[in-house]
Amino acid sequence: MEFAQDQVGDVAIVKLAGRLDSSTAQPAEASFTQMLGSGTPRLAVDLSRLEYISSAGLRVLLVVAKKVQQAKGKMVLFGLVPNVREVFSVSGFDKIFAIQSDADAAVASVR
Amino acid sequence: MLGFVEEILLLQLDDSQGKFVNLPMSAADVVLAGAALMELALANRVDSDLEQLILVDPSPTGDDILDDVLKHLAEGGDLTADGVLEQISVNGEKYQEMALQRLIAKGVLREENGRFLWVFRTRRYPVVDDSEQREVRARLRQLLLTDEIPDPRDVVLICLIGACGLLGLVLSPEEIARTTTRVEQLGRLDLIGQAVTKAVAKIRFIVANASSAIY
């Protein structure tokens, strides 16, 4: 799995690519934690190149979302491919996370 | 910290009587099996997606209940969440006894043997130290009554108490009515938890229909 970070103004954009599952969950969580640091995070997560997500991957996003909430920040996901969107829908994660269709809408929603 | 099997067993105990709340035996077994599976998932030993369970690491954990489940998973067979739950829930009674002995050894419960009608042997498990129960109930209550994002351990506990019909332990009847959507939403967040909820609902349905057929 690839974890890349970009910055648009005060919004951090994290791009996840490949598979987010039990073998990649721990390094992904560590990367998010390192990135969040202190302050009030504004985070947009690009999932357009994420091909697969398992329960372990969903838990990483849940843990990150909780940290962002505790820091009174904002987090949004965007670009979900159909099979990832299906996992979000069946598991109800689409009701927990703010989800936007593209980067512009995502960045605007957390500003 | 207690594991999910111990935690849900403890929550099923009626404080005042030291007896388990009324749950069909096979449903209680599914709940314990699900608790063990979800503990393994959070320990990154098992993963799941919409189609299957994946055994990630079969090496022993040192926990005899979890290792028994791992051993079963390593034997292969039906690795869907529904299938695995059905198979390992046959050990539910054994896991219950193991977890009870652990709780007694940790000083959380004590065992009392008695007689009912001077003939039938009975066992009760009065709670000695209820600090864990109180802490868990307070945390779940806070989660259910607010928009707070749960952590993965709390998601599992909400799935389990929802499946057992134990929401009344943490919420008043009025609060239960008010938080139906929230409970349903949080209970779905764990895919194994969804399978537990479905399996328990199926058992309750069968039991209810069997009873109505008798009367």
pLDDT for B26: 84
Nearest residue to B84 (alpha-carbon basis) of B43, B44, B40: B40
Contacts of A21 in chain B (CB under 8 A): 47, 54
Average pLDDT, chain A: 95
pLDDT for B214: 56
Please check whether residue B152 touches A, CB under 8 A.
Answer: yes
Pairing of strands A98-100, A74-78: parallel
Q: Which helix (H) or strand (E) holds A89?
A: helix A82-91
pLDDT for A94: 96
Which of A54, A62, A96 lies at the smallest CB-CB distance from B152? A62
- Could you give the 3-state DSSP secondary structure of residue A21? coil
How far apart are alpha carbons B24 and B204 in whole angstroms? 7
Please check whether residue B192 touches A, CB under 8 A.
Answer: yes
How far apart are alpha carbons B189 and B79 in whole angstroms? 20
CA distances from B19 to A64, B28, B67, B210 (A): 39, 14, 28, 25
Q: What is the pTM of this model?
A: 0.90
- Judged by CB atoms closer than 8 Å, whether chains meet at A87 and B49 is answered as yes
Contacts of B183 in chain A (CB under 8 A): none
* Distance of residue A108 Cα from the nearest chain B Cα, in angstroms: 22
Token couple for B25: 């035996």
Domain residue spans of chain B: 4-214
Fold that domain B4-214 belongs to in CATH: yeast vps74-n-term truncation variant fold (1.10.3630)
Could you tell me if B85 and B34 are in contact, meaning their C-beta atoms sit under 8 angstroms apart? yes
Which positions 8-47 of A are in contact with B (Cβ < 8 Å)? 21-23, 25-26
- Judged by CB atoms closer than 8 Å, whether chains meet at A54 and B49 is answered as yes
Please check whether residue A52 touches B, CB under 8 A.
Answer: yes
Per-residue pLDDT of chain B (215 residues; tens, 9 = 90+): 789 999 999 888 877 677 787 777 788 899 999 999 999 999 999 999 999 999 999 999 999 999 999 999 999 878 899 999 999 999 999 999 999 999 999 988 888 776 555 556 667 778 778 888 888 889 999 999 999 999 999 999 999 999 888 898 899 999 999 999 999 999 999 999 999 999 888 888 887 787 666 55
Report the b/e string of A26-65 with b at 16+ CB within 10 A.
Answer: eebbebbeeebeeeebbbbbbbeebebbbbbbbbbbbbbb
Please check whether residue B18 touches A, CB under 8 A.
Answer: no
How far apart are alpha carbons A53 and A33 in whole angstroms? 19
Residue-range domains of chain A with CATH: 39-111 (3.30.750.24)
Could you tell me if B158 and B187 are in contact, meaning their C-beta atoms sit under 8 angstroms apart? yes
- Judged by CB atoms closer than 8 Å, whether chains meet at B188 and A56 is answered as no
Please check whether residue A59 touches B, CB under 8 A.
Answer: yes
How far apart are alpha carbons A9 and A57 in whole angstroms? 28
Nearest residue to B196 (alpha-carbon basis) of B152, B169, B163: B163
Per the DSSP assignment, residues forming a β-bridge with A77 are A45, A99
* Distance of residue A87 Cα from the nearest chain B Cα, in angstroms: 7
With a CB cutoff of 8 Å and minimum separation 6, the contacts of B93 are B25, B29
Could you tell me if B47 and A55 are in contact, meaning their C-beta atoms sit under 8 angstroms apart? yes
Lowest-confidence segment of A21-30, A45-54, B190-199 by average pLDDT: B190-199
Give this complex's ipTM. Answer: 0.93
* Distance of residue A67 Cα from the nearest chain B Cα, in angstroms: 9
